Structure 1
Amino acid sequence: MNNIKHFLLAIYVSLALICQGHVLGGATTRDIIVPKISEWQVTVVNGLTTGETLFIHCKSKEDDLGEMNLRFRDRFSWNFGENMLHSTLFWCYMSKDDGHANLNVFWDDVILFHRCGWKNCVWTAKTDGVYLWNSATGEDMLLEKWEVGW
């Protein structure tokens, strides 16, 4: 019986690796084999009242979202589905004239999910650091201070 489980697991993993990019009726075979648990949106906002440009570079293990410069009040958002393995992770490098920060902006964590209202994480760069909008309390929370320099 144990050999059958190993055989089925090997087939499952092989299919996941082989079929991960093929499209079937709007969904990829990867979505069928490893279904998305929920849809999320992450937004990064330049809230630097000093008028500085905010440089950001966001990515995950699988997706590089590119580099961009945001002017005051500009925002960058992306949508994605968390995978069944709960291993989805996005992080961003951000920099301003006199500081930088490298932080996770999405990971599998019930506290983060609660703060993001189970659908939308909004990160705002301000003069003293990077804040996460806490939808549960209705206020920004400072989660990362700027590191001096580049």
Structure 2
Amino acid sequence: MGGLAKIRRHHVVSLVVAIGLCITAVECTKHVSIKNSLGSGKNMSLHCQSKDNDLGQQNIENGNEFGWDFSDNVFGSTLFFCDLGWQNVEHYHFDAYSFGRDRVRCDGAGCSWLVSAEGIYGFNGQTGFWEFMFQWPN
């Protein structure tokens, strides 16, 4: 194969990869939301971040929520983690979005979390049910 043919083939492959990445980025936009359902008068502090994005400290009143949009990275390693606290739990760390766990579970409906006095529930977009995911430490 001549040098010119190799260069053309390389450009075509690069173009196909670039188009694939663009389509993936558009189709894979995710939304995560975390709702405070602790009960009347119980506020929750929340600080979420990824390796690249710090979403800042939030104070969320009962009945309100905090959410954000993002796209999975091309390496399949997207991770957003949060630290939260409230009246009965001083500090709790959990993964709000982990590509391996959530890319299918949260597809379409987004990743919704409900923080209650019992623990944290996650909405499963595949089954349409809330699942008890994390229990508060004793």
Q: Distance in 1 between matches of 2:119 and 2:40?
A: 13
**Aligned: 1:56 with 2:46:** yes
Aligned length: 116
Q: Distance in 2 between matches of 1:54 and 1:88?
A: 25
Question: Which deviates more, 46-55 or 83-92?
Answer: 46-55
Rg comparison, structure with higher value: 2
**Aligned: 1:125 with 2:120:** no
Equivalences for residues 88-103 of structure 1 within 5 A? 88-99=78-89, 100-103=91-94
Q: Which residue of 2 aligns with 1:112?
A: 102
Same amino acid, percent of matched pairs: 28
The residue type equivalent to 2:104 in the other structure is H
TM value normalised by structure 2: 0.75
**SS of residue matched to 2:102:** helix
Give the unaligned 5+ runs of structure 1: 1-30
CA contact (8 A) 1:88 1:108 kept: yes
Give the unaligned 5+ runs of structure 2: 1-17
Residues 119 and 85 of structure 1: CA distance in aligned 2, closer, same or farther (over 3 Å): farther
CA contact (8 A) 2:33 2:111 kept: yes
The residue type equivalent to 1:88 in the other structure is T
Shift of 1:113: 2.7
